[in-house]
Amino acid sequence: MTFSLTRRQQDIVDYLRQRAGRGLPAPSLDEVCAALGVVSRGSMHKHVAALAEAGVIEPMHGLRRGLRLAAAPAEGVPLLGRIAAGRPIEAVTHDERVDVPAWLRPPGDCYVLEVRGDSMQDEGIFDGDRVVVAARSEARDGEVVVALLDGTEATLKTLRRRGRRVVLQPANRAYAPIEVDADRVAIQGVVTGLMRRVG
């Protein structure tokens, strides 16, 4: 089963990764709440429990134990290129691979794309992020997809279906949705994870 992080769960993972990268001790649940501006401790605990169940963070055994990312073997996944709104994938000519933690890799074939631009920023996908993509030719309504338009231009958008039409919805009000006949769009993959450099 593929586990996709919610925006809040991604914030938690990014915060824990940042602290670990700076050599700081694992924070308590209250410290994570304070750092991320979350008032409800119960809400944060639900996110943490979901991350623990998915193997992303180590389970909390006792209230004094800090939150830390689970140790998971990383595996090299192909970096196929860079993707931006309305532009073709810029191919990477050499055989470059990116280490992706086990909990971010979907079952089956997958690849990584580097994001260029801000058309999906309201979904928490920013310029310079790397998205992990499950190589699929089908997608469900509401999934963030790599879509090839007219066989030439690849874009990263949320998929919406309207009868025989397809809407490729950006997550930034500065960009207009792309609405076309369904036969003009080929799905090349579904985003299942995101990696971001911190610090």
| Residue of 4, 40, 119, 137 marked active site | 119
- Active-site residue, 40 included: no
Residue ranges covered by each domain of the chain? 1-70, 74-195
pTM: 0.65
**Consecutive sets of 10 residues in the chain, 199 residues long: mean pLDDT of each?**
70 83 80 91 89 79 69 77 63 69 80 90 90 92 92 90 94 93 94 78
- Active-site residue, 157 included: yes
- Report the alpha-carbon distance of residue 196 to residue 130 in Å, rounded: 6
Predicted local distance difference test score (pLDDT) of residue 108: 86
Fold of 74-195: Umud Fragment, subunit A (2.10.109)
Predicted local distance difference test score (pLDDT) of residue 71: 67
Predicted local distance difference test score (pLDDT) of residue 76: 86
- Report the alpha-carbon distance of residue 128 to residue 134 in Å, rounded: 19
- Shared fold status for 1-70 and 74-195: no
Fold of 1-70: Arc Repressor Mutant, subunit A (1.10.10)
